[in-house]
Amino acid sequence: MRLLSTLSRTASREPRIRPDLHHHRRPLSSRTHPQHPPPHLTRTTRPFSTTPRTPHNDLIPPTPTNSRRITFIDKDAHPTTLTVADGNNLLDIAQAHDLDMEGACGGSCACSTCHVVVADDAMYDRMPEPSDDENDMLDLAFGLTETSRLGCQVVMSEALDGVVVKLPSMTRNMQASDFAAVETKG
């Protein structure tokens, strides 16, 4: 009985609000429609920035401290000597100077159309060893020699300063002949 009377007194009791804090309560409207969105919905402004575009075949420009010489000898035995920087591969160098190097796969070591022959054995030995992928592609190259390399896989460095490479009279584009074979079958 005593418990029941206690409960009924508690249920009928008004919420206890301290009179001195009453004016600090936010009105209901501001609680359901807050003036400011929560932080995770707040729009933030960030500076827009981009990285410089690097088109294919853009070369690292030579500088007084990064300047090497390379000579390409075309199929007509005409030499072209260029000043280039370390870090550029022979395919990019040749194409940037309109020399006759096809590069059908875009330098991904999946064709042999960037085949070059290094003129000097000693210079060939200074180059890093060809990878297995490069050797596989070289096996398909027309006119393979002991000093053959794929131009897209040879990167200029100080050790290769003065290198001379010959462009073969023909290249074999296995991709093109593959497509031709598919078209013939169809």
Report CA-CA distances (Å) from 47 to 39, 44, 169: 19, 10, 53
152 interacts with ligand FES by CB under 6 A: yes
91 interacts with ligand FES by CB under 6 A: yes
Do 150 and 138 touch, CB atoms closer than 8 A? yes
Do 63 and 45 touch, CB atoms closer than 8 A? no
Separation of alpha carbons 109 and 173, rounded Å: 12
State the CB neighbour count (10 A cutoff) for residue 135.
Answer: 12
CB nearer to ligand FES: pick between 66 and 147: 147
99 interacts with ligand FES by CB under 6 A: no
171 interacts with ligand FES by CB under 6 A: no
168 interacts with ligand FES by CB under 6 A: no
The binding track of 119-148 with respect to ligand FES, each residue x by CB under 6 A or -, is ------------------x-----------
CA angle 177, 109, 181 (to 5 degrees): 10
CA 70 vs. chain centroid, Å, equals 26
CB of 151 to ligand FES, least distance (A): 6
Select from 70, 84, 99, 105 the one that contacts ligand FES (CB under 6 A): 105
List Cβ neighbours of 39 (8 Å cut-off, separation of 6 or more).
none
Select from 90, 99, 109, 118 the one that contacts ligand FES (CB under 6 A): 109
CB nearer to ligand FES: pick between 65 and 165: 165
CB nearer to ligand FES: pick between 104 and 164: 104
Select from 104, 119, 140, 155 the one that contacts ligand FES (CB under 6 A): 104
- The side-by-side arrangement of strands in the sheet containing 79-84 is 79-84, 68-73, 163-166, 115-118, 148-150
Residues interacting with ligand FES, by CB under 6 A? 91, 103-105, 107, 109-111, 113-114, 137, 150, 152
